[in-house]
A and B are shown apart, each in its own frame.
Chain A
């Protein structure tokens, strides 16, 4: 059975093949490109399932393989792949969601002019993401980390003719790049401190105490900065909502389920580094917690269906970070678990939103409404997604969220617990606000909505199913998933440090969390479903608060005026400096030379008398000079 894992490198390879095929024959394939993409991804998915299954069966030993890639001096840099619990899980999630999204896109993108290009990008993304999750060393992680960023950029800017898409793509790329910078520096520093890019060797070095504590903290925080960028954590979250300019399937795949979760994955993959430093963990926890509540509060007021979902994603990612940061085995399991369940239900929500947008051709929720009857499947699956994300028993979200709350509670971090519960309330509220506005009530827009084709609803149903059942693999009563996850090498290190955590909340906490969520839903129903409470009560009562939330706390404006505008000014200043000082200095020298030349040129006026005067002047100078220098030697200085 060991043989199967040896071929895990094929998993990312198939999407790459698909990419190459579509690039080469895109024009001939036309919409057949979808078939190619789906087929190759399906093969990958099959392999991933087998790999996962094998891991699940065997547990314990990780499989690692590498080849020499580049020699620099005496250092050999390798490329390879590694299969452990976390990787196997990620492989499964990524291939599954990617497959479903590609199937869905066949319907959603139907008729698009650049259909093959879309699949081309999707395939490239899938390849990169898979490459990222099986990478055994930081350099490889970084390489694929950047590649997924580029794919995200390409896909966000897919509608290249739209200025908003252009701006969003640019923003997505640059903001994540700022985060990548941290990762980059972290990798370089770790390389010099430990002499390797290999994760295993880095962990060994830490275990052996080769690194000073401040080094570990610094490296961990730098890596986390990378995660902040990718996972849209505060303060680099601004790109993610804007990235919704991309086609909706892309939002589902990249900006909900997989790529943005890469930050969480990165922290999880380098978790031994983090747990060696309390400071780093605290940073992770507080940034995660703050992002969770911050993004959720913005999500309350947004009008664009996809933006609500985007802020919800940011918030949920903050939740995961929070879980990872709170410490310990429980947090690790909870974070990863939530990553998985979130991938399913958030992809479901996005695809559902896509289905709605496909039908009504608007993204403004206030122009929707009454779609429940017109698109029953979409509505139903969307409801399931909402219930899952709100954490209603027994949907997947319930179990994972409850695991996080439990972990936080156990770590006695009550401030974070409070934030988490509040965020859960917000989540429940804005998700159902969205649901009621979209599906309940009367139709507000002028549109002939109808149910999407089967190729789109199929994936929705599958994801809905997963959103219902995925939670059951890690109930407090049977923590199969947690036990399995902690049985790997990384898991062992974590358990060595913290001991096996229970990681599940006390019953009262479960009930409290559930109650809060239900409260949120109730409020949403009262305001938008039944309209018992006027929905503009709060905006009218406290317009500044509403504006603050609606305008996203002015973070974008802040960045614009604090970073972009000064940069432009600096640029203009330096431009002037370059033109007039650096270049001007040289020109000045040239001009002076030319001026002296011109001066002499003017003296050459052809007037004999001027020349005579000049000669006289020279003679005078000579006489003066000789008289002054030859002291006591007579006029000509001969006497001495």
Chain B
């Protein structure tokens, strides 16, 4: 029972628990809090996996930006808590069955597959931030640039769409 295992256990419990609560809560604040917990726990998982940079980015982007964005999204639109309850139960059950089936299949796949033995030592002591930086700006420079363009376009597009129309008409 190493410390790593305990950390993993706790973090994954928080992740899944947060996700499940997020799905089942009906009040906005609760949802966003549980969402934040999930995201942060995932960041912890990343750190556990030796991906500190990704973990930090996760905290920045997801826990920081996206959760807040979602909060705004929910608050800006009319939120009626009672709405959720009247969903189509028949559809819910069907979806549940499908999802469970998918889970079963995947679980079976994961369990029955042979995985390579975990490496004896950690890959390298070189901070993977540097490694990432090297790779991003050498090998993946074009996707990186494209992503930036995508972000720009998304930014502009989001502004245009969310802007109030009809003022000039």
Contacts and interface: CB of A to CB of B under 8 A. Distances in A.
Q: Indicate whether A and B are direct neighbours in the complex (CB within 8 Å).
A: yes
Interface of A: 609-610, 613, 616-617, 619-620, 623-624, 627, 634-635
A620 B109 contact: no
A609 B105 contact: no
Interface in B112-134: 113
A613 B94 contact: yes
B109 A635 contact: yes
B105 A613 contact: no
B91 A609 contact: yes
B113 A635 contact: yes
A610 B113 CA distance: 32
A222 to B, nearest CB: 74
A627 B112 CA distance: 12
B113 A620 contact: no
Nearest to B110: A635
Q: Chain B contact residues (Cβ within 8 angstroms of A): what range?
A: 10 to 19
B105 A624 contact: yes
A616 B98 contact: yes
Contacts of B91: 609-610, 613
B141 to A, nearest CB: 31
Residue of B91, B98, B102, B109 contacting most chain A CB atoms (<10 Å): B98
A627 B101 CA distance: 14
B95 interface: yes
B94 to A, nearest CB: 6
Contacts of A620: 98, 101-102, 105
B70 interface: no
A620 B105 CA distance: 8
Nearest to B114: A634
B76 to A, nearest CB: 21
Interface of B: 91, 94-95, 98-99, 101-102, 105, 109, 113
23 contacts: A609-B91, A609-B95, A610-B91, A613-B91, A613-B94, A613-B95, A613-B98, A616-B95, A616-B98, A616-B99, A616-B102, A617-B98, A619-B102, A620-B98, A620-B101, A620-B102, A620-B105, A623-B105, A624-B105, A627-B105, A634-B113, A635-B109, A635-B113
Nearest to A617: B98
A613 B94 CA distance: 8
Given A613-B95, A635-B109, 12 more contacts: A609-B91, A613-B91, A613-B94, A616-B95, A616-B102, A617-B98, A619-B102, A620-B102, A623-B105, A624-B105, A627-B105, A635-B113
A619 B106 CA distance: 12
A634 B113 CA distance: 8
A624 B105 CA distance: 8
Contacts of B102: 616, 619-620
Nearest to B98: A616
Q: Lowest 3 A-B CB distances belong to which pairs?
A: A616-B98, A635-B109, A613-B95
A609 B99 CA distance: 13
A610 B94 CA distance: 10
Contacts of A609: 91, 95
Contacts of A613: 91, 94-95, 98
Nearest to B95: A613
B108 to A, nearest CB: 9
A613 B95 CA distance: 6
Contacts of A610: 91
B11 to A, nearest CB: 28
B112 to A, nearest CB: 8
B29 to A, nearest CB: 25
B37 to A, nearest CB: 26
A347 to B, nearest CB: 91
Nearest to A635: B109
A609 B109 CA distance: 26
Nearest to B94: A613
A624 B95 CA distance: 18
Nearest to A607: B91
A609 B98 CA distance: 13
Contacts of A617: 98
Contacts of B101: 620
A292 B39 CA distance: 115
A635 B110 CA distance: 10
B150 to A, nearest CB: 23
Nearest to B104: A620
A635 B106 CA distance: 10
B98 to A, nearest CB: 5
Contacts of B95: 609, 613, 616
A452 to B, nearest CB: 95
A535 to B, nearest CB: 90
Contacts of B98: 613, 616-617, 620
A620 B109 CA distance: 13
A616 B94 CA distance: 11
A609 B94 CA distance: 11
A635 B101 CA distance: 16
A634 B99 CA distance: 22
B15 to A, nearest CB: 22
A612 to B, nearest CB: 8
Nearest to A610: B91
A617 B91 CA distance: 13
Contacts of B113: 634-635
Nearest to A624: B105
A634 B108 CA distance: 12
A619 B103 CA distance: 12
A633 to B, nearest CB: 13
A624 B106 CA distance: 11
A450 to B, nearest CB: 97
A634 B101 CA distance: 19
B71 to A, nearest CB: 23
A617 B101 CA distance: 9
A614 to B, nearest CB: 9
A627 B105 CA distance: 10
Contacts of B94: 613
A170 B94 CA distance: 70
A288 B161 CA distance: 107
A610 B87 CA distance: 13
Contacts of A616: 95, 98-99, 102
A613 B88 CA distance: 13
Contacts of A623: 105
Nearest to B105: A623
Contacts of B109: 635
A525 to B, nearest CB: 100
Contacts of A635: 109, 113
Nearest to A623: B105
A124 B113 CA distance: 101
A623 B102 CA distance: 9
Nearest to A634: B113
Contacts of A624: 105
A64 B101 CA distance: 98
B27 to A, nearest CB: 22
B133 to A, nearest CB: 34
A634 B95 CA distance: 27
A272 B58 CA distance: 118
